[in-house]
Structure 1
Amino acid sequence: MSALTQFNVSQTFNVPAHPGLEVPGYSDPTHPNIPPLKSSYVFRHRLLGDVLAFLHHSAGDGLFLCGPTGSGKSTLISQIAARLNWPVQSVTCHGRLEFQSLIGQFVLVNGSTEFVHGPLAVAARDGHILILNELDMMDPAELAGLNDIIEGQPLVIAENGGEVIHPHPQFRLIATGNSLGSGDNTGLYQGVLRQNLAFMDRFRIIHVDYPDPEAEKEMLQAAVPSLPEEIVSRMLSVAGEVRRLFMGSDSEAGQLTVTMSTRTLVRWATLAATFKGAPNVFEYSLNQALTARAEAEQREAIHRIAADVFGDYWQSSNC
């Protein structure tokens, strides 16, 4: 593992910060588990500060990022890690994932069995970030095996002759999910399970919502710089209305079962630029980006919203 070094926050993340503010990372930018860097990525200051504080000193906690689909939870962590040269072990959880799979297993190598360490063991041993995506889809009984190592206790691998891995000081465990560990009350996230309270008590919680319009505008312009500002503004208005109908209110359930996530919004903008010159380019690209998977009535409603917002631009082939 490469040596630790300090990174200037303002220069590294292109955000306003105290000139002397630094965070730790690794000096070697060539490790294969460092996520690819997206130079156009735009950081949200509050979220960046919260994650950097955790990476600087976890104090025996894990970090749990919760929020709606496509709000950028996993991307936030990977883009921070990319700039700090911090290797990442990433796992997408599901109902059949076992704790043992995170530790490792015996495999056949050149005719003999050999123990291969899993992502948890590697991250704990080498000081990587372990990202458990969709944590709330995993069996809570299996996740209980993480309790001790989150708090800094050694990982004992009985299957490998009682091997003991003492967590590296830079080991961090970060999880993402669409719920707060209390199950899904909306019916929109199938497979989400209620998690053990004692397990969830070991996490700091950060809510990651969709970016505000100005931040999202900056993201779109960075991702698709050829898109006119007027079109970007109209796309943002459509996204805001779709999300409002998806989320509903305190007294009324949402009217849509699909939503315009930031991920979907960027996809729509990218496809609009890709199919520039095609008839009804904005409707065509919106269908591919989102509405093709919506029920017919909802697809029609979303297209009606977009047509009203876009006005004369809706039938255009230019963007």
Structure 2
Amino acid sequence: MYQDYSVANTFGVPAPLSMNVEGFAPANNPYVPVEKPYLFRREPLRDVLAFFANPNGDGLYITGPTGSGKTSLIEQVAARLHWGVHAVTGHGRLEFNDLVGQFVLTGSGGMKWTDGPLTRAVRHGHVLLLNEIDATDPSELIGLNDIVEGKPLLIAATDEVVRPHPKFRVVATGNSAGAGDQSGLYQGVMRQNIALMDRFRLMEVGYPEPAYEMTLLERATPTMPISIRERMIQLANEIRKVFIGHGDTAGLLSITMSTRTLLRWAQLSANYRGAPNALAYALDRALAYRGDAAEREAIHRMAQDVFGTDWQV
């Protein structure tokens, strides 16, 4: 059964109280993501809700840098609309048949067909969420071409034709926009088939504005001084600029501070607040130890510039 949800009340964003979006009625569906506290950004939310309401034969492709919130956006929208999600992470060995399903051995020695994530989503009107789709061999995804448009799914192994539920949706995420990684920042990214990409509408999710991240830090570490939180966000944006770079400066850092890493840094800093070098100690464990010695030193120099006398190593 379906149910209308108020956009303003459900997602906590400014919207007319009469503006609703249709989802599913609560039904203890195990495929519905767990609802977590989440601060929605208005424009990305608008694009996702428009797609969920009427895909018009499209899939939705969300591109953006690592840790910008592409996957969590879909999961938390779906959680509030009680919409089932089948998430698959792309990799070079993922095959189309992995999405469709397979025969498995039963206890009696027979064989039984088991639906894969694509087939379950098609049957039940759920979201097929293909994370890091640009890490998948494009030849394996050609089978999605007709399915994204809403055509029936043929299961060759059983000769069954599964007609898509009207609420079936396909969402993909990637660090690139499907044309390969021109920056060299992301290993394993492959250019995707142009025929498949032509079946997706695109949206971009970048790193949040400072005011948004400040609200997140306030929730995560309410006792931390505002001046410290402000400089944490400033350092995060400085690191991101060096990571993304422009022209010859691209790739000077192989690691970056996503919003999730920023929150981890703040929470660890609060945990280690009794230490004389809590900010530096926590920064290493939240991010810097993922880089080599030169990158760690560069990040600490940037932190020294941002924090001044408040920075101790």
Amino acid at match of 1:283: A
- Structure 1: distance between partners of 2:267 and 2:98: 37
2:288 aligned partner: 291
Secondary structure class of the residue paired with 2:88: strand
Amino acid at match of 1:37: E
- Structure 1 residue 29, shift from structure 2 partner: 4.9
Q: How does 1:77-116 map to 2 (within 5 A)?
A: 77-110=74-107, 111-116=109-114
Distance change in 2, residues 1:146/1:259 (3 Å):
same
- Structure 1 residue 178, shift from structure 2 partner: 0.4
- Structure 1: distance between partners of 2:211 and 2:261: 17
Distance change in 2, residues 1:151/1:52 (3 Å):
same
Amino acid at match of 2:144: L
- Which stretch of structure 1 is more off in the superposition, 272-281 or 293-302? 272-281
Alignment length (residue pairs)? 312
- Structure 1 residue 315, shift from structure 2 partner: 2.8
2:129 aligned partner: 131
1:218 aligned partner: 215
- Structure 1 residue 252, shift from structure 2 partner: 4.2
Amino acid at match of 2:207: Y
- Structure 1 residue 307, shift from structure 2 partner: 1.9
Alignment partner of 1:234 is 2:231: yes
- Structure 1 residue 33, shift from structure 2 partner: 1.2
2:2 aligned partner: 4
Q: Find the partner of 2:119 among 115, 118, 121.
A: 121
- Structure 1: distance between partners of 2:16 and 2:24: 21
Q: Find the partner of 1:185 among 182, 186, 194.
A: 182
- Structure 1 residue 251, shift from structure 2 partner: 6.1
2:165 aligned partner: 168
1:302 aligned partner: 299
- Structure 1: distance between partners of 2:244 and 2:281: 25
- Structure 1 residue 184, shift from structure 2 partner: 1.3
- Which stretch of structure 1 is more off in the superposition, 221-230 or 69-78? 221-230
Q: Aligned-pair RMSD on alpha carbons?
A: 1.3
1:272 aligned partner: 269
1:55 aligned partner: 52
Structure 1 gaps, min length 5: none
* TM-score, normalised by the number of residues in structure 1: 0.95
Secondary structure class of the residue paired with 1:20: coil
2:12 aligned partner: 14
Alignment partner of 1:149 is 2:174: no
- Structure 2: distance between partners of 1:251 and 1:286: 27
Secondary structure class of the residue paired with 1:315: coil
- Structure 1 residue 221, shift from structure 2 partner: 1.7
- Which stretch of structure 1 is more off in the superposition, 250-259 or 10-19? 250-259
Encode CA deviations 1:131-174: one digit per residue, 9 max, x unaligned.
000000111111000011111100010202x1111110000100
- Structure 1 residue 223, shift from structure 2 partner: 2.8
* TM-score, normalised by the number of residues in structure 2: 0.96
- Structure 1 residue 53, shift from structure 2 partner: 0.2
- Structure 1: distance between partners of 2:85 and 2:8: 23
- Which stretch of structure 1 is more off in the superposition, 242-251 or 163-172? 242-251
- Which stretch of structure 1 is more off in the superposition, 101-110 or 212-221? 212-221
Distance change in 2, residues 1:29/1:282 (3 Å):
farther
Secondary structure class of the residue paired with 1:116: strand
- Structure 2: distance between partners of 1:63 and 1:227: 38
Structure 2 gaps, min length 5: none
- Structure 1: distance between partners of 2:93 and 2:54: 32
- Structure 1 residue 301, shift from structure 2 partner: 1.1
- Structure 2: distance between partners of 1:260 and 1:174: 25
- Structure 2: distance between partners of 1:224 and 1:210: 20
- Structure 1 residue 19, shift from structure 2 partner: 1.4
- Structure 1: distance between partners of 2:146 and 2:79: 28
- Structure 1 residue 293, shift from structure 2 partner: 1.3
Distance change in 2, residues 1:44/1:124 (3 Å):
same
- Structure 1: distance between partners of 2:221 and 2:249: 36
